[in-house]
Amino acid sequence: MSTAHDGSVNGLTFLPDGLHLLSLGTDENLRLWDTQTGRNKLVNYGRIANKRRSTVKFAVSDDASASVVFVPSEGNVEAYDIFSGDHVATLRGHYNQVNCCFYNTEAHELYSAANDRNILIWLPQTASVSAYEDFVNSTRQDAGQHRTKFTSRVVGTADAWSSDED
């Protein structure tokens, strides 16, 4: 009998189609599984730094244009094409170990949280920044919260927000 990983499995998520499962192990491998056959799809994502004993929460996008997995890896978030294994991007912005990611399909945003006590919002470069800023700022003003000031250009490789106190 073969094993899924040469170490502990500390990350697991189904793809939105329910036909595939991704597993992340302390052997620094991400694996794609066919849920109907139980077979490894043998996609090579390369080495993903993951020596933690705690659970790693990674996210998948289910946009029709691309299927991407976002995996915390030390102080960064690594993005890979799910079915080819191609490295899409390294998202840098945290100052400490990233613990989890969440992809919001309605807003097309990725959220990442780290030991630096920050939550970063990542937008694709094609997103309309001004429309997004207008929406968020009007929502926060209506709710009586302080207004968030965004950086002039929101991209997937930089801190996407800052507070008014800066």
User: What's the structural domain count of the chain?
Assistant: 1
The single-letter DSSP state of residue 138 is H
- Asked if residue 31 has pLDDT above 80, the reply is yes
- Would 164 be classed as within a structural domain? no
| Single-letter amino acid, residue 140 | R
- Would 16 be classed as within a structural domain? yes
**Sheet of 9-14, strand order:** 9-14, 20-25, 30-34
Could you give the CA distance from residue 72 to residue 144 in angstroms, rounded to a whole number?
A: 33
First to last CA, the chain: 57
pLDDT at 145: 42
- Would 3 be classed as within a structural domain? no
Give me the CATH number covering residue 95: 2.130.10.10
Spatial contact of 111 and 120, defined as CB atoms under 8 Å apart = yes
Spatial contact of 68 and 82, defined as CB atoms under 8 Å apart = yes
Q: What is the mean pLDDT of residues 11-24?
A: 91
- Would 32 be classed as within a structural domain? yes
- Would 153 be classed as within a structural domain? no
Across 57-71, 90-104, 122-136, 149-163, the highest mean pLDDT is recorded for 90-104
Q: Which has more confidence, 103 or 7?
A: 103
| Single-letter amino acid, residue 137 | N
- Would 40 be classed as within a structural domain? yes
- Would 150 be classed as within a structural domain? no
Closest-CA residue to 114 (of 135, 91, 130): 91
- Would 2 be classed as within a structural domain? no
pLDDT at 150: 29
Could you give the CA distance from residue 28 to residue 158 in angstroms, rounded to a whole number?
A: 25
The pLDDT tens digits for 38-49 are 999 999 998 988
For residue 107, the enclosing domain spans 9-122
